[in-house]
């Protein structure tokens, strides 16, 4: 899809787009440490519940762990909770970092991620350990929901980034693997690409 090479600004989602993730793995891991209602993880993740508040920075990591404990039929440590929660974070293929490095030569690159402090610390450490680099080095600026107090697909999270960076929506491509996030961005005039992970699509296919 060489057509995207002419777009000067690109905003990438992170989980699913750059970093491989598997939310089902977190459900399995929480069950292993005693979570009685495993549907809670998916339900809370998809609604404005516990995970939404964590990803908006409305509660701290400790407050998150305390609330998770109310659903677990066992005594669990902070490390066990973090390990279960972080188990959804898989690998980051080096080829994707290579692509970002090349794109950065001719494009303004930005990251816009719905994430939280526990995941952020985990994958930043993993990327440094595995690839010996910092994720921030590949972007002009990286934006995270827990720092912004906003989550995609809230229109304000997109307009905030565009305004802060002086970007024209029509000259900016947004890449995400969630249709709701893509739809919200398109309504604001951004060019968009829905990355269809079920069809095995990768950002390596786009440029």
Distance CA 152, CA 13 (A): 10
Active-site residue list: 13
Distance CA 58, CA 51 (A): 10
Which 3 state secondary structure label does DSSP give 70? coil
Distance CA 115, CA 33 (A): 23
Closest of 144, 168, 138 to residue 157, by C-alpha:
144
| C-beta separation of 12 from 206 below 8 A | no
Max Cα-Cα span within the chain: 55
């Amino acid at each position: 899809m060489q057509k995207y090479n002419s777009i000067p600004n690109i905003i990438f989602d992170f989980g699913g787009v750059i970093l491989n993730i598997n939310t089902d793995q977190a459900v399995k891991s929480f069950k292993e440490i005693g979570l009685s209602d495993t549907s809670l993880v998916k339900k809370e993740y998809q609604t404005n519940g516990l995970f939404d508040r964590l990803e908006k920075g409305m509660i701290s990591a400790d407050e998150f762990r305390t609330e998770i404990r109310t659903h677990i039929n066992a005594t669990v440590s902070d490390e066990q909770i973090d390990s279960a929660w972080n188990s959804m974070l898989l690998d980051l293929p080096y080829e994707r970092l290579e692509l970002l490095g090349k794109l950065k030569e001719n494009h303004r690159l930005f990251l816009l991620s719905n994430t939280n402090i526990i995941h952020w610390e985990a994958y930043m450490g993993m990327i440094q350990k595995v690839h010996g680099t910092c994720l921030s080095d590949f972007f002009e600026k990286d934006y995270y929901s827990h720092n912004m107090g906003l989550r995609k697909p809230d229109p304000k999270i997109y307009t905030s980034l565009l305004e802060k960076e002086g970007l024209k929506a029509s000259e900016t491509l947004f890449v995400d693997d969630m249709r709701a996030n893509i739809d919200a961005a398109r309504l604001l005039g951004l060019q968009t690409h829905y990355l269809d992970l079920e069809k095995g699509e990768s950002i390596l296919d786009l440029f």
